[in-house]
Structure 1
Amino acid sequence: MDASGEVLASLRGVRKRYGALQALDGVDLDLHAGQVLALLGPNGAGKTTTIGLLLGLLRADAGQVRLFGQDPQQVAPRRGIGVMLQDAALPPTLKVGELLRLTASYYPAPRPLADSAALAGIGDLLGRPYGKLSGGQQRRVQFAIALCGRPRLLFLDEPTVGLDMPARQRLWATVRALAGEGVAVVLTTHYLEEAAQLADRVCVLVRGRIVSDGSVDALRARVETRRVRCRSALEPATVATWPGVREVHRDGAWLQLASDQVEMVVRRLLEADPALAGLEVQAAGLDEAFCDLTRDQAVASFDPREAA
């Protein structure tokens, strides 16, 4: 993260409602220079609304939204952002190089076309019509377009959908390099592995409220679930009946299980199978932490009147 950690954009006590739906309910959020923030949450959690407010596409019902210290609906601060949305409607007949030159013309000090193409790995596509490209190639072009204005704040909405692994890894490397130069990056993704790879900070939204904001390790630490792996002759059906065992299955000679009372379960495993070997206990993965957190928060905030 950039040493200064300058706040480039912020939300303070922001509320947004669509009819009876409270999309955001008192959200406070800072976006820091040089930091990659993964904004996670189940569908309908408020992620799209949050980004729409920061981009100046929406107006908050209450609270304050600032982009480089200004109203995001003004033109000047919006020249400092780059955006890669999940759905992009670009002219199919324009060549890739023409698209980049056109987009760059809207910015006061854009990157040279060759630099934008190199960062996104599309140097070989510049002469081809956009509509003739594969889905993965189009995503790479969209990434280059998001970078061409030298943004200080970069929004990436599901950026690697449709990309093969080499292209994903290239995009990840570019994002890390940009963050190292002080660019703030906001990432939304359903690939939790991607968030774990890239994010300095993970912010989880549930039902319009931030329920977790910190590092990937801090999010994992909030979850009691642990993974246990061992070589054992015990039957999975038997172990599944024990208190604290959430799931269990066999993989050859290995017994693998998840537990939120791992110390008690490990003691029982050792008592039930004196020949048990190769015991391993692992912390929850990001996917497990995310699922546990969002499920628990949804249950805690459930209002039967809303389900009527």
Structure 2
Amino acid sequence: MTDLILHHYPTSPFSEKVRLILGVKKLPWKSVFIPPIMPKPEVLELTGGYRKTPFLQIGADMYCDSALIADVLEHLQPQATLYPEPEKGMSRILSQWADTTLFWAAMAWNLQPKGAAEVFAHAPPEAAKAFGEDRGKMSAGNMTRLRPADATSAYKSYLRRLSDMLDDKPFLLGEVPCIADFSAYHPLWYTRRIEAVKGILDLTPAVVDWMDRIAAIGHGQPEKFSAPEAIAVAQAATPLTVLTDSTFQDDHGIPLGSEVTVRAESFGLEETAGQLVAATRTHYTLARRSDRTGTVHVHFPRIGYVLRKAEA
């Protein structure tokens, strides 16, 4: 198998989700640290515009969004499965809720003034300002952000509901962790890192115990790698997706071979432009080329992303 290269940074919640999935599947992987905020020239060289964290590189194929990355890793290593029967559909639905609704409530709580002050306590004042401006540009004013007071109520309710799910089993849907566990865990993991706000977790000790079980999985077998090395890997490779669904599903009236753009629906609105080479029931694939990378394929999940024909 071609090397798995994860482009991430240590404090990224969605990266922690993927690192744990690599751990539960006992997969070796190469670790490329990327900047938390723009500019990210080497990231954009590989993705063509997508700047959210993390993304997974396999040769000349770039897989964007943790939901699609999870599907890729499931295909490469079916055990331990992320989507156990008969709760396969439930695990995906719960995972999507956790990656969106739970995540944004948790982050509004986490980065309230006392939380943000701790996160940036050892950074120069301009760092906090730059981070806020960067995340503001990613949402471009089209997202409804919870205020800390509203987030407190929502987050406490969500933690209680997770606790209820753990009354009679070690993981959210059964005896083994599934995609729902990893998606629900990562925003809580970020909470636990911040002394000023982590006390909210003490209200649900069953959730804390579950978090300990997830954390014990670890991150598998990472090996340090560099962005220039990753670009060289892409340059030397030919795109060859590991995604198995290939039937064209035309929901937009855009034929394959068209010049298109893809971007996230609500957060991370930067577009990736390229030639549409796949549009299946689960994902889009764009082909693009640069002098440094050669031809690469950039893959996005359908859910949560917007496909448009490029303007002439």
TM-score, normalised via structure 2 length: 0.24
Higher RCO (Cα < 8 Å, 6 or more apart): 2
Which has a greater percent of helix?
A: 2
Larger CA Rg, structure 1 vs 2 = 1
Which has a greater percent of strand?
A: 1
TM-score, normalised via structure 1 length: 0.24
